[in-house]
Amino acid sequence: MAIEITLPHIGESVVEGTITKWLKQPGEGVKKYEPLFEVMTDKVDVEVPSPAAGVLTEILIPEGQTVRVGTVVAMMQANGVLEAAVATLEAAEATQGEATVAVEEVKAPTREPEPLGRGERISPVVAKLAAQYVIDLGQIKGTGLGGRVTKQDVLQYLETRGLKEAAPPLREGPAAEVAPPLLEESIPLTPIRKAIAEHMVRS
């Protein structure tokens, strides 16, 4: 509610006064009975208090001007009106916020791209290499159709990291049979063989 600030009756014989100083400026808040301005009369100088709590909105009589008692010198807005205006503004902001949230909920959810490395995107050979070398296929840029990771992509990835494709393990065949050691056979010497042997020793 707008309130008119007038020059009050200061004494029985005082009919006018000069505003010497404004203690509040437009836009400033003021409490009830807080001094608003100073007035000089021919008998006394006084501070005029605010009749209510609110905000000073307009100064109608500047400093140094003399006016009669009862003249409107300023306008102010009571706190009750300001609180209502603030409440209305907050309600409007809350309604706008709810409308924004509703619009966001109506939006269709976006489908996230499928991560690279699923079973339907790789071949069995690539899957085997990935398992063998513990490779995250998501780190490999596929050059195949539709971004598929090919065997060549995996091998190149391993090569850049100083790894090579492991050679297949050798198949274990049956152990080779080891021939038993030859046994020396003692042959008894006949008189003829004994004579031949002695002859060979002498020669």
What residue ranges do the domains of the chain occupy?
2-81, 119-160
pLDDT in tens, 48-69: 999 999 999 999 999 999 999 9
pLDDT in tens, 69-95: 999 999 999 886 555 554 566 677 777
CA-CA distance, 202 to 195, in Å (whole number)?
A: 11
* CATH architecture label of 2-81: Beta Barrel (2.40)
DSSP of 20-68: EEESS-TT-EE-TT-EEEEEE-SS-EEEEEPSSSEEEEEE-S-TT-EEE
Asked if residues 54 and 78 have their Cβ atoms less than 8 Å apart, the reply is: yes
Model confidence, pTM: 0.39
Q: Most confidently modeled of 67-76, 91-100, 105-114? A: 67-76
For the domain spanning 119-160, the CATH number is 4.10.320.10
